[in-house]
Structure 1
């Protein structure tokens, strides 16, 4: 599994006219069914009265084959949603949703023409879409003394990791989300303040 992948940094809209039909392609960050449905509903309000709102999404890593979906939304079967999904997967961007809004211009394109039209917007838009690198983080736990907390917070930040939870009792139990590649660096820093006693390990 990839330890990092590109995701959309912001929403991007691309519009073109093909044989008098207006095609509006919207790409956006999306990591759950709920967030996708919310964006789709908002786009239907933003672009009312369109003939079709075809879509595709990849909710996880670009090579994920489970968290994916698409819809032709009334276009001929296989002419919109699946070509859109193939274009998204070919772009190798994760956590991405795409909606293509079509206002019909009176000229039928045929199945082949529709496949090209719905793919075209995505292929052009992904080249211009601002992206950012997402690193996969793994959850680990670390118990430390109160006196060590400030140093550990500094080391965690330095390792591009995040403290997700703190449980205070006789000592402090930290839940840390960290990229695998930065684990050894964090352990080296922890060793300097604990004579090698503090260490984090990935769950088996």
Structure 2
């Protein structure tokens, strides 16, 4: 992927395996925050009741995200589930991804090494089968135009894959935009051309 885009899960994927009589169910899904992860975890507990463990990990932003991410061993030995799961996700070159691995204990202990292989292995085997979409990295901007200019501005925004996230109507129209990083220069130039230099994009400072 280029610097301004990355892959994200298109839909949920589930992989079920039996390892030494324990049942492991790996669920991969789109996840942008810990709040979304916890919602998915609630659904997993509903769909797979009475399991022994519900271990999880997520990367909430771009691939290799080191801030908006997290993991849990959920009662397994420390470092045997959540962290190995997170390491696989961070190395997958897929962003906004969550993983939950549900374990029904089969009576045979796997040891720490066996648990690491079981919890991370399901994700490794599931990732190549996961359907993905493309997420564009975007910057926030605003533009103020007259009502007569609105249709032209909307046309140019659509041309450059810019999302209009809000409109405020008063004497003029204020548009809140999400502009793909790779399109900023071209969009700015086209806006200037169609308005004969009257309109200006104002990008939000990060």
- TM-score of the superposed pair, with normalisation by structure 2: 0.94
Write out per-residue CA displacement over residues 48-67 of structure 1, whole angstroms, 9 at most, x where no aligned residue.
Answer: 01111111111111222111
CA contact (8 A) 1:70 1:82 kept: yes
- The residue that corresponds to 1:202 in the other structure is 203
Secondary structure of 2:198 counterpart: coil
Give the drift of 1:180.
1.6
Q: Pairwise CA RMSD of aligned residues?
A: 1.5
Corresponding position of 1:67: 68
In the alignment, does 2:112 pair up with 1:111? yes
Following superposition, which runs of at least 4 residues in structure 1 exceed 4 angstroms of deviation?
none
Asked if residue 47 in structure 1 is aligned to residue 54 in structure 2, the reply is no
Cα distance in 2 for partners of 1:174, 1:95 equals 27
- Listed as ranges, the gaps of 5+ residues in structure 1 are none
Kindly indicate whether the alpha-carbon contact (under 8 Å) linking 1:54 and 1:81 is maintained by their aligned counterparts in 2: yes
Give 1:171's aligned residue: 172
Q: Could you list the runs of 5+ residues in structure 2 that have no partner in the other structure?
A: none
Distance 1:51 1:194 in 2: 63
Q: What TM-score, normalized to structure 1?
A: 0.95
C-alpha distance in 2, partners of 1:172/1:54? 48
How far 1:138 moved relative to its partner?
1.0
How far residue 154 of structure 1 moved from its aligned partner, in angstroms, is 1.1
Q: How many residues align?
A: 204
Cα deviation per residue 1:95-120 (whole Å; 9 max; x = unaligned)? 11100001111211111111111111
The answer to whether the 8 A contact 1:187-1:198 is kept is no
Superposed, 1:1-204 pairs within 5 Å as 2-204=3-205
